Structure 1
Amino acid sequence: MTAQRLLMLGATGTIGQATVRSLLRRGHEVVCLVRPRAGVGGRMARSDSERLLAGATVRFGDVGSPASLATDGFRGERFDALVSCLASRNGAPHDAWAIDHQAHLHALAAAQQAGVTQMVLLSAICVQKPLLAFQQAKLAFEQALISSGLSYSIVRPTAFFKSLSGQIERVRRGKPFLVFGDGRLNACKPISDTDLADYLADCLQDPARRNRILPIGGPGPALTPRQQGELLFAALGREPRFKQVPVALLDTIIAVLAGLGRVLPSLAVKAELARIGRYYATESMLVLDPASGRYDAAATPSTGRQTLGGFYAELAQGSAALPERGDHAVF
């Protein structure tokens, strides 16, 4: 394996941290451009970022600023590739277009100026059916990257373990597991941080992953929310208990917030967040067959070894920590 010099964006997120570790294990030189106050709510000081990203070079700047990308990030130095796990915090339209699209455009331009020839981008499988602002923003940058002339790998993972961990404490307290509809409206192939990070890192060296859009899930069959709940109850040694939430309730919330949002912009943003919640409650995170309009679990590739059931078991036993979910939390 040939060691490369990489600029990494989005390094302080959970997937980003795992990706930095995976890149370092492969012998790459990793330079991370992070905010001076990173993390959820800007709680991380510079020393926190340096500790989390031990082994990498940590530089501080603003990924939304072309000048900062050039002077604080690339610094006129040679880099082989750009790796990005950068994403907007909650998917609100303004944030999505600023980060998922515009900041990436700035980074792409700075990378080209620095002579970078390859980019690995963490995207999302939900851009297959772009009904929301953050999906449209991600998809717009994907198209810009494809047209850029750089060698690219666009990785579209299914659900992360952390996004499926929001009800662990709720169930521990003896409450039922919440599902929308009957809990079988959708499905996904959950993937762990480590398995996804390894997949991203290997894109740098695998010719078969060059200039491709790569949907990817974790090992095992696709799981519905009800099946995810059953795995959680099994890990905790309890009988499954579910509470069904009608999707119509989300529709009502969206309609009310959208109406009020015409007067109060802050409520318009909340309406969009509610639309995001509804999307994830009803759409599968699997490969979408464009001909039939149906999601196809069999066509969704798998990678790695960590299963959601195993992850829940580790949490129940205390051998793994509950992941920080931040602004992505629904429950």
Structure 2
Amino acid sequence: MMEKYKVLVAGSTGYLGRFITQELINRGADTTIIVRNKNRINLKAPNLKIIEAQVTQPDTLMGVCDNIDIVISSVGITRQKDGLTYMDVDYQANVNLLNEAKKSKVKKIIYISVLNGDNLRQLKIGEAKEKFVDELKTSGLDYCVIRPNGFFSDMADFLNMAKNGRVYLFGNGELKLNPIHGQDLAQVVVDAINQNVKEINIGGPDLLSQNEIGELALKAYSKPVKIIHLPNWIRILAIRLIRIFTGPKTYGPIEFFLTTMNMDMTAPKYGKHHIADFFNERVKSKHSS
């Protein structure tokens, strides 16, 4: 079924985008990716086409969606340092892509946002992502919004604390989440091509409390379990202070992490990759490098 679709992937060089691209290639889809610099891409496949363009510059996108059936976008700021804001990238860059998709009469757009996005609009990243979701819903095109509750790579913050022998949590640490590996999430994203559903909430196979994730991170470093529970007012104060004393590029990811740490981020379970294995492999690779 996949072979009949021509799929364009934006954000293909990011953590999730790389997995999505590989999943499409593996399934035999006619795959096109947008990159800033072709020379930095080592990936080769008979069913892969690489286009050089910048999603933040609409003039470079002209015609990228011609003869494309499906557009998949995981475009968003992680820790970019080129002066662009969340509104420039997570919103406007995706709007630029959406405009091209409309011109070319693309069948469907699949966009990766975040779980509980409506409750995160007060954050810079949430505001930008959900503003684009609003545009997508009124675009007239078929669409699907994928809402993961966090990637394994986001859980590196637990490892960074565990390395020093202590994990700091806010409140009692009993709020739960089940982050998902990029490879598992890529399967969900590509499956959505053939599904008639508008939104998909998704997480990994392990539903764990913050305390349990902290324990796994400490065990990965062979450290005794030392988890310090801080009062919630410190978290609120920290968010206020980083907003005052740093710019959006710095405080955006921290603000998001601190906010979601005070939310139940439970999502439907999916996948075969486990967070304990991810932690162990990450620590092992650091020791061997």
> Which TM-score band applies after superposition, normalised by the shorter structure?
0.7 to 0.9
Please state if 1:62 is matched with 2:48.
no
**1-side partners of 2:242 and 2:268: how far apart?**
38
Q: Give the one of 200, 205, 225 matched to 1:214.
A: 200
**1-side partners of 2:167 and 2:242: how far apart?**
26
The one-letter amino acid paired with 1:234 is K
The one-letter amino acid paired with 1:303 is Y
**2-side partners of 1:268 and 1:79: how far apart?**
35
Q: Is the 8 A contact 1:8 1:83 kept in 2?
A: yes
Please state if 1:101 is matched with 2:91.
yes
Q: Is the 8 A contact 1:33 1:59 kept in 2?
A: yes
- DSSP 3-state at the match of 2:110: strand
By how many angstroms is 1:14 displaced?
1.0
The 3 A distance-change label for structure 1 pair 109 and 275 is same
**% identity of equivalent residues:** 22
Please state if 1:251 is matched with 2:231.
no
**2-side partners of 1:181 and 1:138: how far apart?**
28
The one-letter amino acid paired with 1:114 is S
**2-side partners of 1:162 and 1:9: how far apart?**
20
Please state if 1:9 is matched with 2:15.
no
The one-letter amino acid paired with 2:201 is P
Write the mapping of 1:175-324 to structure 2, written as runs, cut at 5 A. Answer: 175-184=165-174, 186-205=175-194, 207=195, 210-220=196-206, 222-256=207-241, 258=243, 267=247, 275-286=255-266, 300-318=267-285
The 3 A distance-change label for structure 1 pair 320 and 155 is farther
The 3 A distance-change label for structure 1 pair 319 and 305 is farther
The 3 A distance-change label for structure 1 pair 256 and 136 is closer
The one-letter amino acid paired with 1:219 is P
**2-side partners of 1:94 and 1:17: how far apart?**
22
- DSSP 3-state at the match of 1:166: helix
Unaligned runs of 5+ in 2: none
The 3 A distance-change label for structure 1 pair 20 and 105 is same
**1-side partners of 2:30 and 2:255: how far apart?**
40
1:136 equivalent in structure 2: 127
**2-side partners of 1:178 and 1:257: how far apart?**
18
**1-side partners of 2:54 and 2:249: how far apart?**
24
**1-side partners of 2:279 and 2:147: how far apart?**
23
Q: Is the 8 A contact 2:158 2:213 kept in 1?
A: no
Q: Give the one of 93, 112, 116 matched to 2:102.
A: 112
> What is the CA deviation profile of residues 226-251 of structure 1, one whole-angstrom value per residue up to 9, with x for unaligned ones?
11011223344443122334432333
By how many angstroms is 1:12 displaced?
0.4
- DSSP 3-state at the match of 1:203: helix
> What is the CA deviation profile of residues 122-178 of structure 1, one whole-angstrom value per residue up to 9, with x for unaligned ones?
111131302212212211211221222222111000121010123435534x52122
Q: Is the 8 A contact 1:119 1:151 kept in 2?
A: yes
Taking structure 2 as the reference length, what is the TM-score of the superposition? 0.86
Q: Is the 8 A contact 2:159 2:218 kept in 1?
A: no
The one-letter amino acid paired with 2:20 is T
**1-side partners of 2:35 and 2:232: how far apart?**
38
The one-letter amino acid paired with 2:59 is A
> What is the CA deviation profile of residues 279-310 of structure 1, one whole-angstrom value per residue up to 9, with x for unaligned ones?
12212223xxxxxxxxxxxxx32211112123
The one-letter amino acid paired with 1:27 is G
Q: Is the 8 A contact 1:91 1:133 kept in 2?
A: no
Count of aligned pairs between the two proteins: 284
The 3 A distance-change label for structure 1 pair 228 and 80 is same
Unaligned runs of 5+ in 1: 37-45, 287-299, 323-331
Please state if 1:159 is matched with 2:150.
yes
By how many angstroms is 1:311 displaced?
2.1
Q: Is the 8 A contact 2:180 2:204 kept in 1?
A: yes
By how many angstroms is 1:272 displaced?
5.5
